[in-house]
Amino acid sequence: MARRTFIAGNWKMNLGPQAADRLAMDLKAALAGQTAVDVAVAPVAVSIPGVVARLKHTGIHVAGQDLAVEASGAFTGEVAGEMLREAGCTWVIVGHSERRSLFGEDDALINRKVHAAFRAGLLPILCVGETLAQRDAGQVEQVLERQLSAGLAGLQADQLAAMTLAYEPVWAIGTGRTATPDQAQEAHAFIRGWLRKTAPAFVADQLRIQYGGSVKPANAASLLRQPDVDGALVGGASLKAADFVKIIEAAPHMAA
């Protein structure tokens, strides 16, 4: 079945409220009337309310970059999924490689965050992917299977079908290196095949798998043309409206 392309921009720890509002304003103008592709942006937490207000009625969704497991309490510095939802988010990124490598998040914690997202009424974008050492050791499928099995544990089939997975080879994030279209397709096909073996058939047909890892206007079209690549989780290139719009326009539904 045809899956709608989903392009999400992860702004990471960039763009305070004023700069985020300017970028949101540029995206609002550039993407007016665009309905062929699902689009989301993930600002830093303090910029979310302003971006939500700026993008109201545009069809561009707003996502959180992370969430706490707990709904409230004495957890200084954390932001609950319920708070993100109240602020206007509809999606939240979970298990980004930077959360895994820099903040020590393991698969068990990431699974708890996936469940917390659904509890809060948010749809998770769960990130999975291997390091360069793991790829060189021939462990790509082993790593992906471990991350998927643990990260998706305990979810219902309808939850799985509604969420998004993002395959992000760690060695390609922020390095300028990008997985070739064939490498991306191979990993995405493995993920979809794993879903077919572990969940009802409709899950693998409906769940969207984004590619993340130095996606740019120059390589977006070749990546998005792959049959199991359903979109992109864009980092640095999402910080410039012109570049992000070009990536969206490279989607097959837009280019047709």
pLDDT digits (tens, 9 = 90+) for 46-83: 999 999 999 999 999 999 999 999 999 999 999 999 99
| Residue 106 pLDDT greater than 60, yes or no | yes
Say which range, 80-84, 176-180, 198-202, 221-225, has the weakest mean pLDDT: 176-180
Eight-state DSSP code of residue 170: G
Q: Which residue has the tokens 């917390």?
A: 116
- The residue with tokens 């360069």 is 132
Residue 227: which of 196, 179, 201, 188 has the closest Cα?
188
- Active-site residue among 82, 130, 168, 249? 168
% the chain with pLDDT above 90? 88
pLDDT-based confidence at residue 1 (cuts at 50, 70, 90): low
pLDDT of amino acid 235: 94
Q: Which residues pair with 123 in a beta bridge?
A: 91
CATH topology of domain 6-255: TIM Barrel (3.20.20)
CB 231 within 8 A of CB 224: yes
Indicate if 168 belongs to the active site.
Answer: yes
- Is residue 78 annotated as part of the catalytic site, yes or no? no
Domain ranges of the chain: 6-255
Average pLDDT, the chain: 94
Q: Which of 96, 98, 105, 249 is catalytic?
A: 96
Rg of the Cα atoms in the chain: 17
